[in-house]
Amino acid sequence: MVTKGRSLPRLADRGSIRLTLRALVLLVLVATVGLAGTPPPTARADDLSDALAKERALQRQIKDQKQQVARLDALQSDLRARIRATAAALNQVNADLVEVRQNIAATEDRIEVIRSAYVDLSREIDEQSRLIERTIRAQWRRAAELEQRKALLAERIRASYATRQTSLLETFLSGDSFTDVLAEAAYFLDVGEQDRALAQEISRRAEVLAATQRMLDESRAQSVVLRIEKEKQKDALDDALADLKVAKKQLQKLEKETARALAAQKADFAQMSRNEKSLRRTLASRVAAQRALERKIESLLAQQYAHGNIPSQYNGTLAWPMAGQVTQDFGCTGFAWEPPLGSCAHFHKGIDIAAPMYTPIRAAGAGTVLFAGPNPYDPYPKAWIVIIAHSQNLLTWYGHVDNAVKPPRVRAGETVSKGEVIAYNGLTGRTSGPHLHWMVELNNDFVNPRLFV
């Protein structure tokens, strides 16, 4: 017995073929969500690569910006250290004003470097802000295009759903011939490929949008960091400029005070040395007296060392013997009353420190007093001097000390400690205005005292 359910396959022929093809068409529709009548979308596979490349470029840019900020921080730290050192130097006893001015000039150069780096950072922040604005506008456009594509695909899905609801019989009866069915199937298959391409494009657009959004979020976050850093750097630079301004004012004040003291000295010496011939005689007598006193000191040093009163080496540093304005430093000078030495027409073997009369003078270091009194080899007026041996090869000389109201407080052979008052500032010898002529002798040669303090 044959059932009705088994009799249908025997209706082979044309109707069976048409039914099978129709089912295939519907299967394709379900799989590809197809609908005729829409032009193929334009797919841009390179957009995602570009977006990812830009994202990587942003990461590199952020890394570079962090390095740029780190360099600015290092420059600012160095600048603060320089200004602190300058302020400390100005507040030190007997500041080297020439060196301080050089340091200030170098600090101003460093400020220009920082200012340039700050301008570069500001420019980069502005460029990044413009990039963010352009990215936001492009992001809105991409989001709108993506929504349009999604709406298009949604419309296709709705139409496809309606197509799937058409009965197999209606589909079967709509064709006139086997050729019509084949053509219709090919038509539906072609539409399915278009929809697949549309779905792939939507997926790519979503990825591009996500990658761009990540880049946008990172850019915004970095922009906030940079703007905070920009304000921080500006504040630091403003503080440095304010501190440098204070230092420059203090330097100008000290320079004016030194210039006044120096002008007074020059005027007095000009009066004492009224003509060149007299000046040459004065210089010659000073040189001779100095050499004679040096020979005497060498003899006294040898005696004290032989008695074990002086160590062979001095362990420690020296301190400034008196505070005041340095009117003349160690080395070549333009002062005509200083004798020549080496390639210098005039050479100053010590440091002149101007201070009020009777300012206490202290021992620069612990040692034994070799000499305290007037230079016996000086022509009138004789300069009073205290000389201390700190070791066999290190001596300090203190010239022009007072001898009348407050004569030296120490005698030859006595030991003194570092910082002990040994004499008072005065006007003895050929001097203009009260000042201390301080010299440091190392290995029988006079050297720059600043090397020891």
pLDDT for res 31: 37
Best CA proximity match to 370, nearest among 302, 315, 446: 302
Confidence at 282, pLDDT banded by 50, 70, 90: low
Q: Tens of pLDDT along 379-395? A: 777 889 999 999 999 99
Q: Which of 67-71, 291-295, 362-366, 380-384 has the highest mean pLDDT?
A: 362-366
Segment 428-446 shows an average pLDDT of 88
Position 19 confidence tier, pLDDT thresholds 50, 70, 90: very low
Give the pair of three-digit tokens for residue 227.
């703007």
Query: Of 22-31, 76-85, 133-142, which one has max mean pLDDT?
Result: 76-85
More confident call, 443 vs 202: 443
pLDDT at 6 over 70: no
Model pLDDT for residues 7-17, shown as the tens digit of each residue? 333 334 444 43
What pLDDT is stored for residue 189 in this prediction?
A: 45
Instruction: Return the pLDDT at 172.
Output: 46
What is the per-residue pLDDT for 121? 83
**What are the domain boundaries of the chain?**
8-260, 275-452
Q: 351: helix, coil or strand?
A: strand
Q: Which range scores top for mean pLDDT: 165-169, 225-229, 289-293, 444-448? A: 444-448
Per-residue pLDDT at 368:
96
Above 90 in pLDDT, residue 433? no
Summarize the confidence of residues 109-129 as an average pLDDT. Answer: 86
Instruction: Look up the pTM and report it.
Output: 0.54
pLDDT at residue 161 in the model: 58
Write down the mean pLDDT value for the chain: 77
* Distance separating alpha carbons of residues 130 and 69, to the nearest angstrom: 20
DSSP secondary structure code for residue 4 in this structure: G
Q: Give the model's pLDDT for residue 190.
A: 47
Architecture per CATH, domain 8-260, reads as Up-down Bundle (1.20)
pLDDT band at 20 (very low <50, low <70, confident <90, very high): very low
Q: What's the pLDDT at 417?
A: 96
Closest CA to 76 of 260, 205, 233: 233
Q: 135-158 burial, b if ≥16 CB within 10 A, otherwise e?
A: beeebeebeeebeebeebbeebee
* Residues 179-218 as b or e (16 or more Cβ within 10 Å = b): eebeebbeebeebbebbeebbebbebbbebbebbeebbee
The stretch 220-241 carries a mean pLDDT of 86
pLDDT for the residue numbered 437: 93
As a residue count, the chain comes to 453
Which CATH superfamily hosts domain 275-452? Answer: Glucose Permease (Domain IIA) (2.70.70.10)
**Of 180-194, 249-263, 356-370, which one has max mean pLDDT?**
356-370
Chain segment 236-276, per-residue pLDDT in tens: 889 988 999 988 888 888 888 777 766 766 666 665 555 55
